[in-house]
Amino acid sequence: MKLLFLYYNLMNLYGEIGNMRVLERHLRDQGLEITIVGKTLGDELDFSQYDFVYAASGTERSQKVALRHLLQYRDSLAQAIERGVPMLFTGNSFEMLGSSITDANGTQHQGLGTLPFTTTEQGQTRYVTDAIATCELIEAPVVGFVNKCSICEGISSPLFHLSMGCGNTPDTQEEGLYYRSLLGTHLIGPLLVKNPALMEWMVNRIGERQEGFSYRPKRYEYEEKAYLATYTALRERLPENKK
Amino acid sequence: MKTSFLILLCKLLRLAGKMVGKGSSLPGRVILKLDPNILQKIKLPEQIVAVTGSNGKTSTVEMIAHVLQSNGKKVAYNKEGSNQIEGVTTFLLNDCTLSGKVKSDLILMESDERFARHTFRHFTPTHYVITNLYRDQMTRNGHPEWVYDIVGESIHDGTHLVLNADDPLVSCFGLGRKNVTWFGVDRLPFSTDRNTSLYNDGRYCPNCKAPMEYDYYHYNHIGSYHCTQCELHRNDTAYTVTDASLEDSYIVINGKYRIDLSFSGIYHFYNTLATFAICNLLGVSGEDIVSSLNRYTMKSGRIVNFTAGEKEGTLLTSKHENSISYDQSIRVAVQDKRDTTVTVIVDAISRKYYTSETSWLWDIDFELLAADSVKEIILTGRYCNDLAVRFSYCGIAPEKIHVIEDIGEAVTYMKDHAPGYQYVITCFSDKDKFLDKVERRTEE
Ligand SMILES: [Zn+2]
């Protein structure tokens, strides 16, 4: 199976390479043969070749350059999304999927237009916060961290419901987007590493693409303990749990 | 309210604060409430030097102050690390006569890169030293380009910039500017042709995002580079490390000023070089700078030698959420060819704010610890399991790695079982949790 790490050397701001390193091992643990392909600016893209697509966070300026490049391949990407290829877009990479991104100077950049939402950045404040979220994909709450300077409006199918963190707009608890097998979220960093249940969900979605796949349960002791340590620490900080 | 009264009030508050061991930001905060424009009403010295950057600014400010003071200048500086506007106000008013004149010849300030735009609304530095911009505390800083924009807002046209030519992002501050002095390190034996870090923030030009090319790297994205599209390139340097040795801990500046350092590390080379450059620009001769800096021991005590039971060791203070500072500490540990045990502690990610963010662990080159000389690894603190996950991708045999959440138990294990010389890598926020359980010997 081929996994694509898109803009691996441009959009990897928050240790997000961790997602790919750990995902690769977990898929191999399922007996799957895995090749990771890195593509970046200047490369030709053909999304029909991949069983999984990952894109991560970049600076606001890097994101605009990536977007300009990716616009050439929007149809190929849109088709892969419609076919249900599993994809994960963390941080501001998922903003590219909308119809436009307006930067802090007020310049509007055309988006891929895959989904009908818009993004607006500002240059004064960043929304930085730990996050706890739930989603319909898995039972366990998800932990993570938001680090962004943008708001996204018009997302009709959010991925997460937050009990801590900053949503697509500051006044909502709805976060990210979920469409077919595409997950987009501003929970940055190695999200799959931090959330073993979400990792398992993703491993299943990718594995299912191979005929005859059935999930073999496997324990990842340190990942599970790390998740519990973070979840416990964050839960204590929820307003209803503070003494 | 009268300025002289506010100055007196500030001095009294500072004195009272010192008696109860309180920090230095409170008096400034009170005074700024009473008169937000107080800093524009006092007479400042002719030279105002600001130092900013992701790493090394505290050490650099300490060394600059030391050189200037030992060469007869009266320096007002915020040595307590109170680098926000309130702290700056406290230290300036504290140094004022009641008629509102700052007594020192020169103001030297460490400027928190995030707050520079607020501080320099009140007064303008004559010299601005910018050491580097890296991935640092991104949970509050966002990312280096975000910090670049904020620092950029604080730079005034008349300010003389003293910039690290080897850092492409810092070099952008010099684009289209004349009043810039550049410093940098020539290609040396430890330089590499390829980027050896886990990420490369020099891959694309920070000015135009076209690919960049490097002649060599010193570490991470620090080195000699040029953009393939725009004019950004490493500038010729007026102050240059032309020779240096990591093993013998010395640098030579401009081919003739040799400075022996009390501890090694390329980091420290840059801090020393920046110190040399600004002090020379301020009129201290090269010879005098050399004699002040030779074998100078930092007061900030980032390197602590300790004894744990029968074991000897060194704690290397690094910064959580700052992969480059970790990389530097790891290099120190693996340069030691004796048998070693390396302990990494991540317990509280910051002492100033709360977060559980551990993404930065994936940016640190822990892979270097797969070196033969490293016999065992101890991972401890609340986030020891995050460390354990990360370390399971470093090519280190699992039986070498000991994951012990409780720091006290980890110390017991170290005393009883850990082989060789001990290196402990952790942050200010966590170092005393370890040092309180062992015997401190010397600090550098
Ligand atoms: Zn360029």
Predicted pLDDT at B85: 76
| DSSP secondary structure letters along B256-271 | TEEEE-SS--HHHHHH
| DSSP secondary structure letters along B68-96 | HHHTT--EEE-TT---SHHHHHHHHHHTB
Predicted pLDDT at B83: 58
Predicted pLDDT at B347: 96
Question: Of how many residues is chain A composed?
Answer: 243
When comparing pLDDT for B271 and B303, which is higher? Answer: B271
pTM for this model (two decimals)? 0.93
d(CA B313, CA A32): 45
- Measured in whole angstroms, the distance separating CA A243 from the mean position of its chain's CA atoms is 34
pLDDT tier, B68 (very low <50, low <70, confident <90, very high otherwise): very high
As a whole number, mean pLDDT of residues A10-14 equals 95
Q: Return residues 175-214 of A near B (CB < 8 Å).
A: 188-190, 193-194
Q: Are B365 and B327 in contact (CB under 8 A)?
A: yes
Assigned CATH topology for domain A2-241: Rossmann fold (3.40.50)
Residue B383 vs residues A25, A183, B329, B427: alpha-carbon distances, Å: 22, 27, 19, 13
Query: Residue A156 pLDDT > 60, yes or no?
Result: yes
The verdict on a CB contact (< 8 Å) between B356 and A130 is yes
Q: Using CB atoms, pick whichever of B149, B356, B389 lies closest to residue A233.
A: B356
The verdict on a CB contact (< 8 Å) between B138 and A13 is yes
Q: Measured between beta carbons, which residues in chain A are less than 8 angstroms from residue B392?
A: 222
Between the CA of A64 and the centroid of ligand 1 the distance, in Å, is 15
d(CA B174, CA B234): 11
The verdict on a CB contact (< 8 Å) between B209 and A17 is no
Count of CB atoms within 10 A of residue A200's CB? 18
Element containing residue A67 per DSSP (H, E): helix A60-70
Direct distance between the N- and C-terminal alpha carbons of chain A, in angstroms, rounded to an integer: 50
Q: Measured between beta carbons, which residues in chain A are less than 8 angstroms from residue B393?
A: 21-22, 25
CA closest to B134 among chain A residues: A13
Query: Residue B225 pLDDT > 80, yes or no?
Result: yes
As a whole number, mean pLDDT of residues A178-183 equals 97
The verdict on a CB contact (< 8 Å) between A123 and B204 is no
Number of H helices, E strands in chain A: 6, 14
Between chain A and chain B, the number of residue pairs with CB atoms below 8 A apart is 108
The verdict on a CB contact (< 8 Å) between B139 and A59 is no
For A123, the 3-state DSSP assignment is coil
E strands within chain A? 2-6, 35-39, 52-55, 87-90, 100-102, 108-110, 118-121, 127-134, 142-148, 150-153, 160-164, 174-175, 177-179, 182-185
d(CA A17, CA A6): 11
As a whole number, mean pLDDT of residues B273-290 equals 98
d(CA B15, CA B20): 9
Domains annotated on chain B, with CATH: 3-182+245-293 (3.40.1190.10), 303-443 (3.90.190.20)
Q: Measured between beta carbons, which residues in chain B are less than 8 angstroms from residue A60?
A: 145-146
Predicted pLDDT at B79: 63
Q: Can you read off the two tokens belonging to residue B100?
A: 């509102």
Structure-token match 């892969």, residue found: A80
Count of CB atoms within 10 A of residue B144's CB? 24
Between the CA of B67 and the centroid of ligand 1 the distance, in Å, is 37
Residue A29 vs residues A205, A221, B339, B418: alpha-carbon distances, Å: 15, 14, 34, 32
ipTM of the complex: 0.97
Element containing residue A17 per DSSP (H, E): helix A17-29
The verdict on a CB contact (< 8 Å) between A17 and B359 is no
Q: Where are the domains of chain A?
A: 2-241
Query: Residue B82 pLDDT > 60, yes or no?
Result: no
Query: Residue B184 pLDDT > 90, yes or no?
Result: yes
As a whole number, mean pLDDT of residues B31-48 equals 90
Q: Give me the amino acid identity at A149.
A: C
pLDDT tier, B117 (very low <50, low <70, confident <90, very high otherwise): confident
| Eight-state DSSP code of residue B235 | P
Flag the least confident range among A128-142, A210-224, B77-91, B328-342: B77-91
Rounded (10°) CA dihedral B246, B249, B252, B253:
90
As a whole number, mean pLDDT of residues B396-402 equals 97
Interface test with B, best of A5, A11, A14 (most B CBs within 10 A): A14
CA closest to A192 among chain B residues: B359
Please, which residues bridge with residue B106 across strands?
B47, B75
Reference B100, options B191, B3, B180; nearest CA is B3
| Eight-state DSSP code of residue B48 | E
pLDDT tier, A242 (very low <50, low <70, confident <90, very high otherwise): confident
Q: Using CB atoms, pick whichever of A18, A42, A147 lies closest to residue B362.
A: A18
Interface test with B, best of A16, A193, A219 (most B CBs within 10 A): A193
The verdict on a CB contact (< 8 Å) between B385 and A14 is no
Predicted pLDDT at B88: 79
pLDDT tier, B80 (very low <50, low <70, confident <90, very high otherwise): low
The verdict on a CB contact (< 8 Å) between A59 and B146 is yes
